Structure 1
Amino acid sequence: MPSQSFIELKDLQIAVRIGTYGPDDVVPDAHILDLTLTISSDLVMVPRDEMALVFDYDPLIRRIDTLAQAQHYETQERLMTRIVQACAEYPQIEALTISLRKRPVLSGTGTLGVRLIVDGEAMTVLRNSLSVSV
């Protein structure tokens, strides 16, 4: 039976420093991550209640936190790239959608973000390029 399964991480406020701001610039007070991972339905529709049968996302969340706090980033895009590369290290992740947004944007309001969709073919290309560069 064809099916798709997803792990969804929504509205995760991450501790990160992104950007360089002047005295009159709006400095964001939050950076928020959404991450949707496409995984095999075999990792969701399981015959028994055992952690060994599912995708353990906790190590990935810890890795994202480590990447976010590891350095000052000039751009949201660079942090997103590093998170996507970390996801590529998990063969269970077939594809993903990632969104990183900041708030506020102007006059204490608004969010501004970047979204990236990495399909299965792009994930394979990424994995192959990462294995070559190692």
Structure 2
Amino acid sequence: MARTAAIELRDLALAVSIGTYGPGDVVPDAHVLDLTLTISPELVAIGADAMSLVFDYDPLIAQIARIARSRSFETQEYLLTLIARACTDYNEIAGVDLCLRKTPVLGGTGSLGVRLTLGGEDLARLRQADRL
């Protein structure tokens, strides 16, 4: 079996405004992010207890929070795209699985989300496109 490693962030409520709502529409109380980052196992199975040996995800989380607060968004999809682009700033990230969901959806219940999964080649293309 191949060795794999991931960093998982679940249920991060973002301070963000998404969508346009009219009278009678259900306005979400929360937009919640789930994020899984595929990284090298060498950044998890380490030989000493030292931050210099692991991937420091705190700057990425801070960057995501800044993106969410930066403006009002019309769509969850565009915010998710910007978060994926933020992930390309970190060469340690070899793949991402992102899910942004809003709640409630109907009658005060449910959640509705958008998922984006990108592998190494997808991230490489995004990194290259962002350099142009």
Same fold, judged at TM 0.5 (above): yes
Q: 1:85 matched to which residue of 2? A: 85
- Aligned residue identity for 1:65: A
Distance apart, 1:2 and its partner CA: 3.4
Question: 1:53-132 alignment to 2 at 5 Å?
Answer: 53-132=53-132
Q: Which runs of 5+ in 1 are unaligned?
A: none
String of CA shifts for 1:11-56, please: whole Å, max 9, x gaps: 1111100000001110000000000000000000111110000000
Question: In the aligned structure 2, how far is the partner of 1:116 from the partner of 1:86?
Answer: 14
Task: Show CA shifts across 1:54-96 (max 9, x none).
Answer: 0000010000000000000000011101000000010000000
* Partner amino acid, structure 2, of 1:100: L
CA distance in 2, matches of 1:118, 1:131: 18
Deviation at 1:131, TM superposition (A): 1.3
Q: Give the fraction of aligned pairs with identical amino acids, expressed as a percent.
A: 55
Give the structure 1 partner of residue 34 of structure 2.
34
Report the aligned-residue RMSD: 0.9
The TM-score, its normalising length taken from structure 2, stands at: 0.98
Distance in 1 (CA, whole Å) between partners of 2:85 and 2:124 is 11
Say whether 1:48 aligns with 2:45. no
What is the identity, as a one-letter code, of the residue corresponding to 2:83?
I
Structure 1 moving runs of 4+ over 2 Å: none
| Distance in structure 2 (CA, Å) of the matches to 1:97 and 1:115 | 7
- Paired residues, number: 132
Separation of aligned partners in 2, 1:130 and 1:42: 27
